[in-house]
Chain A
């Protein structure tokens, strides 16, 4: 056996197991779903089924124009989640990380870090069910607290049902961003900061002129993580509100799930929603690669 052949054979042996599973379970279904979104397929046999017709973009047109505007409502909720991440979790996570990284306090750094990250390892289903009991319904803790201030308080439906969901999301993931910022802040050479201090720089100037510029790439990465995290959010909302009341807390993934697996299935619609989600992911990937090039060349 020549070295070239051995190389090629080994390459195949090492790559193929992972590649085949990945292609079968992730890549193929992605393309399959896009193709199905262009047909009227709605369950049953796929091959040799005479009822399946190619209907082009009919499902998309319906999705974008149906009078209830479910798609826009779900997309809007996804955007609200992104907004909470970008305006809430990322700044808060940064502040906490900055405090911890500067070691301004001598004790408990590790302890605070561990505790604030804790919700991230817990199943979102558990958190969703827990906060459902805390926030919603007549027997909720929220009602109990309301009664403490106003004994005559009666149960009413929350006019803005997304607000509690967003608060829980903020609660859950702030620690995630804190950990990411912390890891990057710790990579800044301490000698640079020490030199600035010797030159008389105040804490705020160190933050503004050293720490923040060093993190510019990471801040953009976290923004992208926030968008992809929002697209992936499903479990928490499923368990906490089930998308209700009346679909007001639905996100795209939940809208897709309900179209396909709740009540009368509407696969064409569900596949169209999936395709839009894939498209958003692809746009994100392109942005990441662009940024990777820009920032990569600068830093290296």
Chain B
């Protein structure tokens, strides 16, 4: 309905602006994928902006097998598969208590979580590193999983509390009158009803966990427990790299998150807006 008064010149200008921005965003990624089909020699000796003259696929088997990509991929899956449900469930539980069970403690405890949203991970790295070593957890999966869960909680508790507050009290009171306890109300009413916010939270937590690098590189030293960001981080800053394999590693590491993004793109953008705007 808004379109009727817009002149075609305006439309051309707007389309141009949007297409230019889209190309600027997508081109480097597209370029990367194309370069992964060149050998390092071809990459270095021919025009770097050109399409591969001959599509070389030899980098892929090398990266997947010798590069242990499947191990890294599997570890990424394991870390996310544990962290995401844990954050969603724990945040919903705390959110339920903060939103619906009156207590004098809520003001303080909720505040403690909210402070965590703006705190940076780097400012706790040394103590965390010392604690993990003291607990003899260094170089185990738990050394990253526990921090990942904890780091997801501030945003999770915030989003869940906010959402659960909007659930009508009458519903919970009538359940109480029917004799339901708090646990039953949580599992039967609160948790199912908070599904929209749980999806948002799951997506935010997943992208955060999947892309996490610094804890991974500090807390784990054996390759068998490392995840995808480490696999590409190995190439960071290295000069005279094997470009063909470098670009292929990056491409392979990109694929899972790109698939995830294109499936959940609408929920992701909605979730980001929900998380950021009120925060």
Contact = CB atoms under 8 A, between A and B. Distances in A.
Interface of A: 6-8, 10-11, 13-15, 17-19, 21-30, 32-33, 36, 46, 96, 99-100, 102-106, 108, 110-126, 128-134, 137, 139, 141, 144-145, 171, 174-176, 179-180, 182-184, 197, 218, 221-222, 225, 228, 231-232, 234-235, 238-242, 244, 252-253, 256-257, 260-261, 267, 270-271, 274-275, 277-278, 281-282, 284-285, 288
B25 A137 contact: no
A18 to B, nearest CB: 4
A99 B48 contact: no
Say what secondary structure dominates the interface of chain A: helix
Q: Which of A25, A137, A282 has the most CB of B within 10 A?
A: A25
B69 interface: no
Interface of B: 2-3, 5-6, 10-11, 14-15, 17-19, 21-22, 24-26, 28-29, 31-32, 44, 47-49, 90-91, 93-94, 96-98, 101-103, 105, 109, 112-116, 118-131, 146-147, 149-151, 153-154, 157, 181-183, 186, 207, 210-211, 213-214, 218, 228-229, 232-233, 235-237, 239-241, 243, 246-247, 250, 253-254, 257-258, 260-262, 265-266, 268-270, 272-274, 276-277, 279
Contacts, number: 297
Given A114-B265, A125-B213, A281-B118, A274 B236 contact: no
The 7 closest A-B pairs by CB, nearest first: A183-B273, A25-B150, A29-B127, A10-B182, A14-B97, A123-B211, A29-B124
Contacts of A132: 236-237
Nearest to A105: B14
Contacts of B214: 234-235, 238, 257
A183 B273 CA distance: 6
A11 B90 contact: no
If over half of B's interface residues share one DSSP class (helix, strand or loop), that class is named, otherwise mixed; here it is: helix
Nearest to A113: B269
17 contacts: A18-B153, A26-B150, A99-B17, A100-B18, A112-B19, A114-B269, A116-B22, A144-B49, A174-B21, A175-B25, A232-B120, A238-B236, A240-B236, A241-B237, A253-B122, A277-B120, A278-B123
